[in-house]
Structure 1
Amino acid sequence: MHILWCALAFIATALAQVTGSKPIPFTSKGNPILPDGSWYSADPAPLVVNNTLYIITGRDSAAPDENNFIMKQWGMFVSSIPDPAGSQWTLYPKVAEPHEVFAWAAPGTSYAAQVVQGRDGRFYLYAPVTQANSQNADPFAIGVAVSDSPTGPYVDAHPSGPIISQSVPPPGDSIQNIDPTVLVDDDGKVYIYFGTFGALLAYQLDPDMVTVRSSVTQVDGLPGYFEAPWLMKRKGVYYLLFAANNAGADSPCTPTSYHACIAYATASSPLGPWKFRDVILPIVSSTTSHPGAIELNGEWFLVYHTADAKGGGHFRRSIALDKLNWDDSQSPPAIRKVVQTFGPKPPAPPTYNIAPTAVASSKYPSGIQYWIKAVNDGIVRANPLPPDYWSSYEAEKSRETSVLTYVWKDPVQLNGTSMVFFADQDAGANVGVAPPKEWFVEYLDQSSNWRPVVNSTPYPLKVTDTPDVVRFQTIRTTSIRATLIASGSGGQFAGVGVKEWEALATELQTR
């Protein structure tokens, strides 16, 4: 298979796998800020102090094929001259660990945290962690730590326990208490928002930064709200950025139920009501992107995460920074669409596979968790999430026959194809996702008739990330289609899953 991942070796200071807590200066050449895979970073939250940008992140430590959030510590990226095109940064790889800061917390789960500066000049870390020996249905809770420096060391500002959980403040709540975002308003009042999986709550805090002052506000009016709120204020208007997921045929940005884009809402009061405005960042290479926005020296920036670093993935993310621009001709001022930028990459190696230049489609709609564009994105993951492949699976309604089609704008010459199957069941199953019973490829001739390719090698059915190539007599066409016959019995069929479908040209292609 011709996979698009290339080695990204353009960090001026070579960073081996980062360990320890000593600051590490490095030069970034663009996004992601640290692309070499030495220290994966997620859930960025920016802070500006003395014309310097501090971005606290969780560290992703999942193994390459592990689909789980393994996050044991927070780190911080610091730059006085941040630039999406590249600049000097310093990585503080270990700013805090949950159980070292909070005696009541269990190790791990260094999820999305934020550092804000209080009116007293000190720095407050709002951190969602799992509470040890919790009696709550969900053990996540929000603690607060304090330091005289953004980079720590931090000590618990509320040693008696979390300030928010499913049991505090009374009567508690029933949501997962993660993703806190905090705003110290111009009048000194403090507000905290938090929540995920479509639930978003808010409180006013006392000036001490830890005591809940108000009754809870349940936040509504955010279509597709999923997670990752970011509360900020500009020119008297309150803005709430968030990860949106309202997948479906008419979704403004999320093709599958696993994806999230970045949208925003505005309000005239810090606790709402909120009015949805627009999407500002479409989906990225990771399923989520988790926003934070900040002003530095008159310029605004959006920070977020992607899977674009070397060896990256949905659980091995890396932060990026791009400019955020405003349209002040509107009332209230609107946030313009963010243009995602990328650091330099080596040229892609030559390949015979021209599937990525085609438009992919399926004859029948697939489940909302799967993505047709995955079949020709050039990426094959050993342990994919559903949006990393296409599937015909619809439980007991799975079809016996499915058809995938490629269409090119101009005629192409092909003499081979291969297909990487996904399966969670053995061959012959009539449940789950199994390898197909058979499959074959046809092409559209000059008379717009479908004709079978004349293959000289068989169509393999083995589930492997390096399948055998099906060779056939050279064809010239603008479209090919693959018909997949599902396994099954008793009138019930398994789904078929496809990670990647290659269309091989007769000549080597350079890109």
Structure 2
Amino acid sequence: MMIQINNCFAAALSLIVAVSGQSAAQKTPGKIGPLVTDLYTADPSAHVFNGKIYIYPSHDVEADVPQDDEGGHFQMRDYHVYSLDKIGGKVTDHGVALDVKDVPWADKQMWAPDAAYKNGTYLLYFPAKDKEGIFRIGVATSKSPTGPFKAEPKPIAGSYSIDPAVFTDTDGKAYMYLGGIWGGQLQRWHTGTYKKALMTDLGKGHENEPALGAKVAVMKDNMLSFGEPLRDVQILDENGKPLLASDTNRRFFEGAWMHKYNGKYYFSYSTGDTHLLCYAEGNSPYGPFTYKGVIMNPVEGWTTHHSIVEVKGKWYLFYHDSELSGKTHLRNVKVRELIRDSSGNITTINP
């Protein structure tokens, strides 16, 4: 039923845009094709290292597990790294970079990863459930951007939930953003300790409370651990008030990403169950961030996870949909140019 509702929602949005002459959305002639067609890939984290584009996605597989709100049907087991010399160029698969069987503390569900570079070492950050079924964030290292990566024996101390995204600022400091509610377990840490009973969100009676937000911490110089306890990432509305839990078209759900443009910090994220890709703007990597708008309306398959990267003076959005399979858990990675107006506002894309 959710799929039907959101397909109708996407169709309605397309109709509104068509009637209004596409004034609020990017015109994208031609069809955007998947970058990888021989495997199912999702949650693409894109980076430029030494002038080359590298993509670190999750690897979707068919595990024959029933779909649920906890994401039990997303049973990814390993990571491949892909590279291309330019946007539109040939995509090279560098094979398995890390497998769950080679991570001492991890049990299953290698979800959306990210990567970074520091002092000759490439780092792969990834979530996985430990032996007790709790999501933690791990880190693995390599001397090559394509791996193979060797995992640290334990997850990052103080880490939990999913969707790590590491942003290195112009001063060299690096920050990790993380978190996802429902299956990402962020709501279970609301009190500071893990509460298994909180299955999806904070529940009835909390709708008018500030929404759960992502977490952020500066990394230590070695990039292997946090340099401080995790902090809350706050998203404010146009009046400077925190977005509420009931504001499902604007509040954070999962899939955080950070990029910097003209001195401003752009915190982007997925609204999850409403399947919008949104962004907020701030003056510090810690925030607070003021909600600005929608980057992308719901894609085919309705799950949303992305990265934003600059390549040779242009900005690109890497994302996924389900064009190849038609199934929400078997996705494919895509890329398209990100357009801004003269004030730096991002133009909404209708995929």
Normalised-by-shorter TM-score class: 0.7 to 0.9
Q: Is the 8 Å Cα contact of residues 106 and 130 (structure 2) preserved in structure 1?
A: yes
Partner residue in 1 for 2:229: 215
2:135 to 140, 146, 155: 140
2:309 to 294, 300, 303: 294
Partner residue in 2 for 1:115: 115
Q: Which amino acid aligns with 1:95?
A: A
What is the 5 A alignment of 1:80-229? 80-83=85-88, 87-100=89-102, 102-106=103-107, 108-118=108-118, 120-132=119-131, 134=132, 139-156=134-151, 158-159=152-153, 161-164=154-157, 168=158, 177-197=161-181, 198-221=212-235, 223-229=250-256
Q: Which amino acid aligns with 2:130?
A: Q
Partner residue in 2 for 1:368: none
State the alpha-carbon separation in 2 of the partners of residues 154 and 288 from structure 1. 28
Q: Secondary structure at the match of 1:144?
A: strand
Q: Secondary structure at the match of 1:304?
A: strand
Report the TM-score when normalising by structure 1.
0.51
State the alpha-carbon separation in 1 of the partners of residues 101 and 282 from structure 2. 37
Q: Secondary structure at the match of 2:287?
A: coil
Cα distance, 1:34 vs. partner?
Answer: 2.6
- The question of 1:72 aligning with 2:66 is answered no
Q: Is the 8 Å Cα contact of residues 302 and 328 (structure 2) preserved in structure 1?
A: yes
State the alpha-carbon separation in 2 of the partners of residues 297 and 40 from structure 1. 28
- The question of 1:50 aligning with 2:45 is answered no
Q: Which amino acid aligns with 2:45?
A: A
State the alpha-carbon separation in 1 of the partners of residues 140 and 179 from structure 2. 19
What is the 5 A alignment of 1:461-480? none
Q: Is the 8 Å Cα contact of residues 64 and 316 (structure 1) preserved in structure 2?
A: no
Partner residue in 2 for 1:11: none
What is the 5 A alignment of 1:256-275? 258-275=273-290
Structure 1: gaps of 5 or more residues: 1-28, 170-175, 246-257, 341-511
Q: Which amino acid aligns with 2:216?
A: A
Alignment deviations for residues 7-26 of structure 1 (CA, whole Å, 9 cap, x no partner)? xxxxxxxxxxxxxxxxxxxx
Alignment deviations for residues 2-51 of structure 1 (CA, whole Å, 9 cap, x no partner)? xxxxxxxxxxxxxxxxxxxxxxxxxxx9412234xx31001110011122
Cα distance, 1:339 vs. partner?
Answer: 5.2
State the alpha-carbon separation in 2 of the partners of residues 66 and 208 from structure 1. 40
- The question of 1:320 aligning with 2:334 is answered yes
Could you list the structure 1 runs, at least 4 aligned residues long, displaced by more than 4 angstroms after superposition: 63-66
Partner residue in 2 for 1:62: 62
Structure 2: gaps of 5 or more residues: 1-30, 68-72, 182-211, 236-242, 244-249
State the alpha-carbon separation in 2 of the partners of residues 80 and 233 from structure 1. 23
Partner residue in 1 for 2:70: none
Q: Which amino acid aligns with 1:82?
A: I
State the alpha-carbon separation in 1 of the partners of residues 104 and 337 from structure 2. 39
Q: Secondary structure at the match of 1:264?
A: strand
Cα distance, 1:56 vs. partner?
Answer: 0.8
Q: Is the 8 Å Cα contact of residues 297 and 350 (structure 2) preserved in structure 1?
A: no
- Structure with greater helix share of residues: 2
* More displaced stretch, 268-277 vs 231-240: 231-240
State the alpha-carbon separation in 2 of the partners of residues 117 and 312 from structure 1. 35
State the alpha-carbon separation in 1 of the partners of residues 265 and 113 from structure 2. 20
- Tell which has more relative contact order, 1 or 2 (C-alpha 8 A, sep 6+): 2
Alignment deviations for residues 248-306 of structure 1 (CA, whole Å, 9 cap, x no partner)? xxxxxxxxxx4411000111101111111100100011121201010111111100110
Partner residue in 2 for 1:335: 346
Report the TM-score when normalising by structure 2.
0.73
Alignment deviations for residues 368-399 of structure 1 (CA, whole Å, 9 cap, x no partner)? xxxxxxxxxxxxxxxxxxxxxxxxxxxxxxxx
Higher-Rg structure is 1
Q: Secondary structure at the match of 2:294?
A: strand
Q: Secondary structure at the match of 1:99?
A: helix
State the alpha-carbon separation in 1 of the partners of residues 117 and 326 from structure 2. 32
Q: Percent identity?
A: 29
Paired residues, what number?
273
Root-mean-square deviation over aligned CA pairs: 2.0
Cα distance, 1:89 vs. partner?
Answer: 1.0
Cα 1:76–1:66 change in 2 (3 A) is: farther
